[in-house]
């Protein structure tokens, strides 16, 4: 059996209830700029890096703005929302602080770097995480394993001895592709696909169930 070396969290949908806010910001911008939003757009972009989803909005949804401009505007809108009312998931701050007393923690998020830093500042969790990685800082977003591998490397631990905490299909796949032990806490608004859930080591109903004992049980 190998000991757990670190715990790496996703942010959107795990620490903050923000997936719907991303969806609304992108859909509203698409409609304002004369693009063509469709029902599958949100799920298609879930887990993409900022480079990937802004290019998707430009090329697939028909926004004439350049991807960099699209990216900046969506981030600006989310920053305003977060500063007004950050949608922290009940219990998330307490769970992070408890686990940080036992293991080094990482954050592997598809959010942009300014949003990651803002969320950690507003929640007071910036000192709880030893490293944070945005998918805009690696080659490919989720479901590629890049962001999780980068977080493990920054923590100087074997990624196979890390526990990843995820809520979405592409997030679960990314952590599993990185050979981590995966805790899935399914997003209620955008539930993960069955084949993705099958790749999780354990499925929890809420983040409050993520106790040190649950993490320890994933040693192998």
Long-range contacts of 163-166 (CB under 8 A, 24+ apart): 163/4, 163/6, 163/7, 163/8, 163/215, 163/218, 164/7, 164/8, 164/9, 164/10, 164/108, 165/7, 165/8, 165/9, 165/10, 165/14, 165/207, 165/210, 166/10, 166/14, 166/200
14: closest CA among 149, 182, 146, 152?
Answer: 182
Least confident of 1-5, 15-19, 140-144, 188-192: 1-5
CATH class held by domain 19-84: mainly alpha
Contact 78, 115 (CB under 8 A): yes
What is the residue extent of each domain of the chain?
6-17+88-216, 19-84
Give tens-digit pLDDT for 81-140: 999 999 999 999 999 999 999 999 999 999 999 999 999 999 999 999 999 999 999 999
Same fold, 6-17+88-216 and 19-84: no
Structure token pair of residue 120:
């950690």
Give tens-digit pLDDT for 43-64: 889 889 999 999 999 999 999 9
Instruction: Among 3.30.420.40, 3.40.50.970, 3.40.50.1000, 3.40.50.1220, name the CATH number for the domain at 6-17+88-216.
Output: 3.40.50.1000
């Amino acid at each position: 059996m190998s000991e757990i070396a670190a715990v790496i969290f996703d942010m959107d949908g795990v620490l903050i209830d923000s997936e719907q806010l991303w969806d609304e910001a992108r859909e509203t911008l698409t409609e304002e700029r004369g693009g063509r939003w469709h029902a599958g757009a949100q799920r298609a972009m879930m887990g993409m890096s900022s480079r990937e989803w802004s290019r998707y909005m430009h090329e697939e949804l028909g926004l004439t703005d350049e991807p960099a401009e699209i990216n900046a505007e969506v981030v600006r809108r989310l920053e305003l929302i977060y500063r007004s009312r950050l949608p922290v998931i009940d219990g998330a701050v307490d769970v992070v602080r408890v686990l940080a007393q036992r293991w080094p923690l990482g954050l592997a998020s598809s959010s942009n770097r300014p949003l990651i830093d803002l969320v950690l500042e507003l929640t007071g969790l910036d000192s709880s995480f030893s490293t944070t990685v945005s998918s805009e800082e690696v080659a490919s977003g989720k479901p590629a394993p890049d962001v999780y591998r980068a977080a493990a490397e920054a923590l100087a631990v074997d990624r196979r001895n890390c526990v990843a905490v995820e809520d979405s299909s592409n997030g679960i796949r990314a952590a599993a592709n990185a050979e981590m032990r995966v805790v899935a806490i399914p997003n209620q608004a955008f539930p993960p696909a069955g084949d993705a859930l099958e790749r999780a080591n354990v499925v929890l109903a809420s983040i409050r169930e993520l106790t040190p004992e649950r993490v320890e049980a994933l040693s192998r």
